[in-house]
Amino acid sequence: MPGAAGSSAGAAAAAPGAARTGPGAAASSAASAASAAAAARTASAPASAKEAAKAARAATTAATTAAATATAAAPAGTDGTSETATAAPSRRFVDAAAITLIVTELLIRAWAAWGGYFSLDDFTFARLAAEKGLGSDLLLTPYNSHFMPGAYLMVWAETTIAPLDYRLVAGVDLGLMAVSYLLTWLLIRRLAGPRLVALVPLAIALFSPITLPATLWWAVSINQLAMLIAIPGALLAQLAYLRTGKARYGAIAVVTAALALPFYEKAALVVPLVFVFTVILQPQSDLPDRFKAALFRFKRQWFAFAVVGVVYAGVYLTRPLDRRGESAVDLGGLLGNAATNSVPAGLLGGPWSWKAIGAVDASANPPVALRIISVVIILAVVALTVYRRPLAWQAWVLLGGTLVFDVLVLAVGRLQLGSGAAMEYRYFTDLVPIAAVALTLALVGPPAWAATWAQRTGIEWPPVLGGTRLALSNANALVLPLVVALFVSSLVSTVKYSNRWHDNPAKDYVATAEKSIRAMGRRVDLYNGAVPEKVAWGVLNPTNFPTRLMAPLDLPINADPETSKDLYVLDPTGQLSHARVTSARAPAGTTKNCGYRVSGKRFPIFLDKELFNWWWYAELRYTAQETTPAVFNSANTRGKQITFEKGTHTLWVKVQGPAAWVTFDNVPKSAGVCLSYLAVGVADPGEPATP
């Protein structure tokens, strides 16, 4: 027993010297600490088995602390241990390779984005920004149960600077993705050091098509890009906090999470993520001890996180959110779909094929073979890393826990979509950087100052995520093929997704409508009928009406006037056209060279069918010998003042249905008004309008 205690003391004493002399000495001190543990077991041999085991555990704990303290002094990018490789790459080479991969992916995403345009909910956000302006009425408006003042602020800024200009949106999104990519690489680099193998998790973070919607679809990016920055940003700050003990880094982690929450409530995931990350990196030997250490050592930080959460929840719950009715939730179906059919393929560059949703969006539709192969590969990686480092399972807890969290959020927020919702990658964007971090931890472990497990009786247990049981003689040789395979797989999926994204009918529709309306050089009376479904779905009402869809453009439009001498309508391509009404028509009049003579005693002109209760337009083609006021009447439209102007003209009158007949009052016979055509109904496009 005295020998064990002496060995422990010697191991602990080695720590300061290692900290002063740098990483080489740190590694040597760690090795000495391990030797001290072995000596402790030898010295305690004469004692009872129980006492020997107790002494061994005590010695190991001291050695663990000494090794952790020694290697904590290693500079950023090293872990205080040596790595056997045939040709270890230089620090500059690894960083240059990482930057090359980042730039390459940004160029691909730029190509994908620049050919696209706004879609579906994008128009609603732009409309709200244009109609409400910057203020609480906009910032505090819930949308599909989302409370997102930060996202609305971004929408307002981009809409104000360049209304419905997707180039600005794409540029901003690419800039934010670049920040996310760089932070992710810095985190991987700090965890793995200048190892070539660090490029593999980076490739997953860069190339995974799971993040495509967050890059291309504005309605997704305004929520999720902040989260994609917050996840690596908060973990990077927390790592610095654990490494240095400086409270400012812990504060940065809290602030990072707080800044992401106004964009997307799902950013609350950052808090448990930071906590689990902290537990993994604690220097205690047993998991319960590390849990307690993480909880109590950083209690001020957790209190700060709690304050942020309480404040946000208080505001969130007071908003009139869209509460969805109760319904059966197929959690098993959602989780099964996500864990086997969509996410694994997406992490490995799939899905290679997509299932169309609307005009441009798509959900993952990987081939069965790819689904099976992806699951097998991921399970094999998990098994191999856990075999080499038995405690690597802790790294995979980050990924598995996030997947379950995402499925639960999806079940609550989109339960009406069924288990098929798990095939839409926009619900799993946050998984990508977390998968990269988990793989990094599982492959090379955290910095070597993280603790080791207590060595059990007669068994040399490896350090936390660190001890090697299966040596790979030349792991670096696998890096290039793996990165290339991920890149090629991703490129196939990205090109196919982007081709759909580029073929956006809304882009040409809006451009044609704006050009043809402005070409008139005056305000245009426009029938505000719904745009084609391929441009905006009817469920987006009222955004699916032209004046609301293009509200940010501030076009010179009089929407749905009560009366008009020249009513226009947009055809399916967005071209401004003269309106024509044909839904319900009056039979040809019987007065020779006149049709219906409108004068004297009121009499009804009946239509060939009755229209239901809706807003319609009556098209009146007439000739008048002199200008005269008149009164237009229908079943639910009484006493509407109109004017028949001298000459041959067309007049459109807004009518409230039901409508089966029309009458006119107060028309003097001397006005000589002859009605040659009368129809009530929808205003359809006729001849294209010219200035």
Q: For residue range 162-202, what is the model confidence (pLDDT) as tens digits?
A: 999 999 999 999 999 999 999 999 999 999 988 999 999 99
Residue 180 and residue 110 share a domain:
yes
Residues 6+ apart with CB under 8 A from 434: 231, 273, 398, 399, 402
Residues 470 and 567 grouped into a single domain: no
**Number of domains, the chain:** 3
Instruction: Specify whether 61 is located in the same domain as 106.
Output: no
How far is Cα 359 from Cα 516, in angstroms, rounded to an integer?
24
CB 29 within 8 A of CB 80: no
pLDDT digits over 97-133, tens only? 999 999 999 999 999 999 999 999 999 999 999 999 9
For 132, other C-beta atoms within 10 Å of its C-beta total 15
Please check whether residue 25 lies inside any domain of the structure: yes
Q: Which residues contact 521 (CB under 8 A, 6 or more apart)?
A: 691
Residue carrying the six token digits 């004469």 = 46
Q: Tell me what the mean pLDDT of segment 125-144 comes to.
A: 94
Q: Same structural domain for residues 417 and 316?
A: yes
Asked whether residue 434 carries a pLDDT value surpassing 60, the answer given is: yes
pLDDT at residue 72 above 90? Answer: no
User: Is the pLDDT reported for residue 65 higher than 60?
Assistant: no
Tell me which amino acid residue 615 is: W
- Is position 36 within any domain? yes
* Residue 325, Cβ density class (10 Å: 0-12 exposed, 13-18 middle, ≥19 buried): exposed
Shared domain for 36 and 148, answered yes or no, is no
Pair (60, 144) in one structural domain: no
Q: Is 581:619 a contact under the CB 8 Å cutoff?
A: yes
Cβ proximity of 411 and 335 under 8 Å: no
Q: Is residue 85 part of a domain?
A: no
Residue 83 lies in a domain: no
Phi and psi at 568, nearest 5°, equal -120, 165
Q: Token match 């973070």: residue? A: 205
190/288 same-domain check: yes
Range of the domain at 61: 2-72
**Type and span of the H or E element at 628:** strand 628-633
**Which pLDDT score is estimated for 420?**
86
Q: Say whether 194 sits in a helix, a strand or coil.
A: coil
Determine the pLDDT at residue 392: 83
Residue 35 has pLDDT above 60, yes or no: no
Q: What mean pLDDT value characterizes the chain?
A: 84
On whether both 356 and 222 belong to a single domain, the answer is yes
Average pLDDT over residues 647-668: 95
User: 494 with 537, same domain?
Assistant: no
Token pair of 514, please?
A: 């704006």
> Cα separation of 16 and 32, whole Å?
13
Q: Are residues 186 and 284 in the same domain?
A: yes
Q: Of 18, 37, 72, at which residue does a domain stop?
A: 72
Q: Distance from CA of residue 206 to its chain's centroid?
A: 15
- State the pLDDT at residue 411: 85
Q: Which of 451-460, 487-496, 504-513, 544-553 has the lowest mean pLDDT?
A: 451-460
- Is 86 domain-assigned? no
Q: Count Cβ atoms below 10 Å from residue 190 Cβ, excluding itself.
A: 21
119-133, 138-152, 207-221, 435-449, range with the lowest pLDDT: 435-449
Q: What percentage of residues in the chain have a pLDDT greater than 70?
A: 81
DSSP three-state, residue 24: helix
User: What per-residue confidence (pLDDT) applies to 506?
Assistant: 96
Cα 643 to Cα 265: distance, rounded to the nearest angstrom: 56
Residue 245 pLDDT > 60:
yes
Tell me, yes or no, whether 79 lies in a domain: no
Tally of CA atoms within 13 A in the half-sphere of 16 that contains its CB: 3
Supply the CATH number for residue 566's domain.
2.60.120
Q: Which comes out higher in pLDDT, residue 289 or 123?
A: 123
**Residue 466 and residue 596 in one domain:** no
21: pLDDT confidence band, cut at 50, 70 and 90? very low
Q: How far apart are CA 261 and CA 348, in angstroms?
A: 29
The per-residue pLDDT for range 86-96, each reduced to its tens digit, is: 456 788 999 99
Instruction: Kindly give the residue spans of alpha helices, DSSP state H, lying in 523-607.
Output: 546-549
Would residue 301 count as lying in a domain? yes
Reported residue count of the chain is: 691
Question: Is the domain of 455 the same as that of 347?
Answer: yes
pLDDT in tens, 336-347: 999 999 999 999
**Hunting for tokens 């008004």 — which residue is that?**
673
Q: Is residue 616 part of a domain?
A: yes
